[in-house]
Structure 1
Amino acid sequence: MEPELKTILECSSDLFSKGRKQHIQPLLIPMELQNPTDPSELIRIQPNYHLYNFKMQPRFEGRIGITDSEISKKKSVHKSIWYQQKNGMKQKLAMKIKLKICRTKIKSKEELTTKKIGHKERSIAKKIGHKERSIAKKIGHKERSIAKKIGHKERSIAKKIVSYDTIRCDTVRYDTVRYDTIRYDIISSSAKEIIMDWYYEKIHNKKNYIK
């Protein structure tokens, strides 16, 4: 999004898929949420197929899903966020999400060790149970990528490891692919605080978050 867009109420037609252009009534969004954000400010969302529901305001709830197939086929994925009012009417904001994808080499010793384990490490991670949180914590910053490589089930483990501050980190490693953070072009830092508050609360609820 270009900085020329003054508010997120200005919904340009290019955000709609072909044949779905329509007029949208303005949404009542606080002024602090209407300022374009600094491109250097990033929010991380795990690039697996889930619907991420987060609240910017009690009246609106948005969700986004990105599939692994979309990520593997493209170098970048553009998504727009749907908001749904209480009356069931769906409206789309002038907002784009771009997911940049780049390849990266495995650098740390712990990551190489995890790679050599192969498929068996999934059962190992399961057997560790709750204790693995403290083990991962002791490893340091690198444990985030290690947890990601354990397998599908580690998502809940990895999510429980991260703290409020680590949600702000700019990269997520999954296998040998580094997924750069999804950039919100028109969400101010105050809106990010709301999203991260929800995100921090949601990651501790495995039943509702992980499919």
Structure 2
Amino acid sequence: MKNNLLKEFNESRTPFFKSFSFLLIESIIPGFLIWFTIGYDFKFSLNEKLPTPHVGYLALICTVYLIYSCLLTYLFYKLKFHEIDNFTFAQISTIIFIAIIMFGTFMKSSSLWILIRFISILLIVVVLTPLFVFIGTLIRNNDLRRVEDLERTYEAYKKGEIIPDKKLLKAQRYQKYLVSKIQKEEELEKFKLELDEKIKRELKEQELKEKLKAEKINKKLDAKENKKREKQKD
């Protein structure tokens, strides 16, 4: 499943510079602004001017920041400014900024705490990346399904056939899935049979080689024995 997700994710990639440009708007610039202005890692921060409790309001701002990033990225995707992969990148970037900001509220700036913060953020990214890839894939597949349904409806309309409703389209998709599943099972079974035949053939060839090798060795031994006997007779 993971490989399929990555495959589908890679099929909808945005060019790097275009992706980075939108990431600046969707996540990076807002993240830096929040971190620099109300984060706890800088002396010039304005976090003390937040209402009490400071950390609570900071968490609220970070939540709004995450919602902003999600909605804006999705909007840009729907407007076809970039592909769905930017959704994953934007949310990962946003989570990284939020983690940096929130960890700064209780982690000191010493070398040990910086290392702990780095490892913690890395773990968060590793855990959440598959989730965001999965969400992005779902969004993309849902859009592809919608386009496919529209194409089928249009084809039916052009041919003067009954225009399929949602239930019929779902049934057709399920039928397509079953056919694909059966084909894969048949291909797998065929592959297994071919593999078994290949293994049997190779085993037979190996046995034949071993047999010929043994016969060759025996002939050499017999020849040596015959020579030895002839010498003894002389």
The TM tier, using the shorter chain, reads: under 0.3
Report the structure, 1 or 2, having the larger helix content. Answer: 2
Larger RCO: Structure 1 or Structure 2 (Cα < 8 Å, ≥ 6 residues apart)?
A: 1
Q: Which has more radius of gyration?
A: 2
Q: TM-score by structure 1 length? A: 0.22
Report the structure, 1 or 2, having the larger strand content. Answer: 1
